[in-house]
Amino acid sequence: MNTDELHSFLSEKAAHYEQPFFLESDPIQIPHQFSSKEDIEIIGFLTASVAWGNRLSIIKSGQKMSELLEHDPYRFILHHQKKDLTALKPFVHRTFNGIDFCYFITALRHIYVHHGGLEEAFTKNPKAHSMEMNIHHFRSLFFELAHEKRTEKHVADPLRGSAAKRINMFLRWMVREAKKGVDFGLWSRITPAQLSCPLDVHSGNVARSLGLLKRKQNDQKAVMELDAALRKLDPIDPVKYDYALFGLGVFEDFS
DSSP 165-197: HHHHHHHHHHHS-STTSSS-----SS-GGG---
pLDDT beyond 80 at 26: yes
Over residues 178-219, the pLDDT tens digits come to 999 999 999 999 999 999 999 999 999 999 999 999 999 999
pLDDT beyond 80 at 169: yes
Cα–Cα distance measured from residue 255 to residue 206, given in angstroms and rounded to the nearest whole number: 6
Cα–Cα distance measured from residue 74 to residue 118, given in angstroms and rounded to the nearest whole number: 11
Cα–Cα distance measured from residue 205 to residue 211, given in angstroms and rounded to the nearest whole number: 10
pLDDT for 176: 98
pLDDT beyond 90 at 255: no
Cα–Cα distance measured from residue 221 to residue 164, given in angstroms and rounded to the nearest whole number: 11
Could you give the C-alpha distances from 40 to 110, 183, 216, in angstroms and in order? Answer: 18, 11, 34
User: Bridge-partner residues for 96, per DSSP?
Assistant: 93
Average pLDDT for 133-147: 98
Look at the chain and report how many structural domains it folds into. 1
| 31: containing domain | 3-251
